[in-house]
Amino acid sequence: INILAIESSCDETAAAVVKNGRTILSNVISSQIALHTLYGGVVPEIASRKHIEKINQVIKQALSEANVTLQDIDAIGVTYGPGLVGALLVGVAEAKAISYGTGKPLVGVHHIEGHVSANYIEHNDLQPPFLCLIVSGGHTHLVIVKDYGVYEIIGRTRDDAAGEAFDKVARAIGLGYPGGPKIDKLAKEGNKKGIVFPRAHIEGSPYDFSFSGVKSAVLNYLNSCEMKKEEVNRADIAASFQDAVVDVLVRNTIAAAKDFNLDQIAIAGGVAANSALRKAMSDGCKEQGIKLCYPSPIYCTDNAAMIGVAAYYEFIKGTRHGLDLNAVPNLKIGQR
């Protein structure tokens, strides 16, 4: 079964062809990062316009790199939420047009379920149930993946998402957008014990997260250095901030795995590409005898391959969407 998958929820225009759920025949990503860097973040109107310009070419390229034509495709998978409504609409309209034109079924996919499904690509033996830490630009969730497409959310952030905190702190120390990869890189030159930033613990909700406190602590630290006319060490700030975030992510995730008796953890979303998180989670899992997996960096950040994987598991369960499929900017996990 071949799925043509389309992703346009934020600032990546992407298309992929996925065979039998786990084999990626092609994975084309046209990123708008350079464009949005000018403004320090994603400008929704510009994102939509760029998607329209790029989408046909990206799909064509995905088909040709996979060495298939639309005749070889069994279903069209598309992200229909959550995300920027104008950006989502471009992918959804395109997918509906292809579905209408070819008569092939349409399968709408939840973007975050796509991020989780990215783990299936390179871990052939990974099967539910497992615990997944979702850490992306807009989401931070701890979920139990009970079956393909069946999720139980056991924890979430009370304020900023992990990726959002990385991006905001990066901006504050002048690293620019997107901040996650830049902090990751700079932190390698810094001392993670250099500055002590707070680790939030939410009383009574051991699997929830909060990152606004650590973000404010970084801003306060910068302000106080400025007032005292002290030189700031940006690498130490990056390393210490990253350490604070990673500490909490690992602590809560491992605690949940033990409490729920799950011997397998996956990490998903853009922040899953973070080298310190991968290392610390891997050390923690080894200590507890828990199996860990995470996708290659290219499958951590936004891509259509992961959407194709999620669409495949929905397709074989019988999920079909009609031509009335609409973009749902605040789509909930598990909603069909």
Is 135 annotated in a binding site? The answer is yes
Most distant pair of Cα atoms in the chain: their distance: 68
User: Which residue from 235, 259, 251 is spatially nearest to 187, judged by alpha carbons?
Assistant: 235
Q: x/- string (CB under 6 A) for ligand ATP, residues 48-87?
A: -----------------------------------x----
- List residues near Fe ion by CB under 5 A: 136, 302
d(CA 164, CA 239): 17
- Judged by CB under 6 A, which of 41, 44, 129, 181 binds ligand ATP? 181
Output the smallest distance, CB 195 to ligand ATP, in A.
18
Packing angle, helices 275-288 and 179-187, rounded to 10: 70
Is 250 annotated in a binding site? The answer is no
Query: CB neighbours of 41 closer than 8 A, spacing ≥ 6?
Result: 167, 177
Interface region with ligand ATP, contact rule CB under 6 A, candidates 163-171, 188-196, 288-296, 306-314: 163-171
- Judged by CB under 6 A, which of 77, 86, 91, 179 binds ligand ATP? 179
d(CA 21, CA 23): 6
Is 167 annotated in a binding site? The answer is yes
- Judged by CB under 6 A, which of 178, 284, 295, 308 binds ligand ATP? 178
Q: What is the DSSP string of 165-189?
A: HHHHHHHHTT--SSHHHHHHHHHTT
Is 201 annotated in a binding site? The answer is no
User: Which residue from 16, 20, 44 is spatially nearest to 32, judged by alpha carbons?
Assistant: 44
Q: Assess contact for 4 and 282: CB atoms under 8 A.
A: no
In the chain, alpha helices (H): 33-37, 44-66, 85-102, 111-122, 162-172, 179-187, 212-227, 234-259, 275-288, 297-300, 305-317
Which helix (H) or strand (E) segment is 144 a member of? strand 140-147
Output the smallest distance, CB 229 to Mg ion, in A.
37
164 binds Mg ion (CB under 5 A): no
Q: Assess contact for 33 and 70: CB atoms under 8 A.
A: no
139 binds ligand ATP (CB under 6 A): yes
Alpha-carbon dihedral sign for residues 31, 37, 42, 44 = negative
Is 190 annotated in a binding site? The answer is no
2-41: which residues touch ligand ATP (CB under 6 A)?
9-10
End-to-end Cα, the chain, rounded Å: 21
184 binds ligand ATP (CB under 6 A): yes
Q: x/- string (CB under 5 A) for Mg ion, residues 295-334?
A: -------x--------------------------------
Interface region with ligand ATP, contact rule CB under 6 A, candidates 58-66, 213-221, 263-271, 323-331: 263-271
Q: Which residues are annotated as a binding site for substrate?
A: 134-138, 167, 180, 184, 274
Residues that bind ligand ATP (CB under 6 A): 9-10, 83, 111, 115, 136-139, 163, 166-167, 178-181, 184, 269-271, 273-274, 301-302
Q: Which residues are annotated as a binding site?
A: 111, 115, 134-138, 167, 180, 184, 274, 302
Residues that bind Mg ion (CB under 5 A): 10-11, 302
